[in-house]
Structure 1
């Protein structure tokens, strides 16, 4: 992922059955053969990747996340940040999908499979492998931060720390 720190991908989900039932119309479309989406009839927005309703979990993972796994094995950090309104498909993309695809579940399952596979390959090749794997799965909803991997924590309060000038741009967020 040469010299690019942040990449932005957009995934447009299909209409839900209840939306079809209520005659809702598609208002966001991926422009075929591009990484652009069209809002309404004439507003174009460009992204690093754009996936439409017919694109599957495999395509999203292979294009956006799989390259990060190799970087992880080389010692880099990686973050996959999903943003969108309730019902927009974040949990579907991260945690599960159509079981009929190559991808058994969501992005999380694929990262775990690929990461441990790559670490195993390095070990088999005779490389000395010492690895610490830390994973966070956080949800921020109505200013409440939840660790979705900690079954015992109901919620934790998020505190934004400002620097001495009152700037929050590079501030530290701490959990109490």
Structure 2
């Protein structure tokens, strides 16, 4: 099992209200540090991961690291899961669904997210092989111990 840490940059709103930056990433050392001052006491923690993608990382970096290896496994017949976990507002939906950029001529925008990029890659490979195939896709949300099929909401 791989453990990765993906850190998005502060939002425009967070920068506007001067939200302190408490998380820093060292991509080369694969470390994430958290530093907070609570009740005049400095609390520092550093955690090591197998891969760290800091706030300057792009959607393509996430895709290349976390999804490309899974596409091969899917095409070999394995069931695969991408599990996005984190606090509300940390960018999970953006990484999975994207920011709504429009595709031109079946090309994905440069900031395409995990789901459309994975689906496109799978179909591109299958079509290049002239393979006959059947595919089932699930897109589930687990929130407050409640499971929702997000594709059924369409």
Larger mean Cα displacement after TM superposition, 56-65 or 40-49: 40-49
Other structure's SS at 1:145 match: strand
Matched, 1:30 2:25: yes
Unaligned runs of 5+ in 2: 36-42, 103-107
Change in CA separation of 1:98 and 1:36 when aligned onto 2, cut-off 3 Å:
farther
Question: Does structure 2 retain, via aligned residues, the 8 Å contact 1:9–1:48?
Answer: yes
Superposition deviation, residue 15 in structure 1: 1.2
Correspondence for 1:65: 67
Correspondence for 1:20: 15
Matched, 1:105 2:112: yes
If asked which structure has higher relative contact order (CA below 8 Å, sep 6+), I would say 2
Other structure's SS at 1:94 match: helix
Bigger Rg, which one: 1
2:87 and 2:44 map into 1 onto residues whose CA distance is 23
2:86 and 2:74 map into 1 onto residues whose CA distance is 26
Change in CA separation of 1:97 and 1:35 when aligned onto 2, cut-off 3 Å:
farther
TM-score, L = length of structure 1 = 0.73
Other structure's SS at 1:114 match: helix
Alignment of 1:117-156 (within 5 A): 117-123=124-130, 129-151=131-153
TM-score, L = length of structure 2 = 0.83
2:98 and 2:50 map into 1 onto residues whose CA distance is 23
Unaligned runs of 5+ in 1: 1-5, 124-128, 153-176
Question: Does structure 1 retain, via aligned residues, the 8 Å contact 2:31–2:48?
Answer: yes
Larger mean Cα displacement after TM superposition, 28-37 or 40-49: 40-49
Question: Does structure 2 retain, via aligned residues, the 8 Å contact 1:104–1:110?
Answer: no
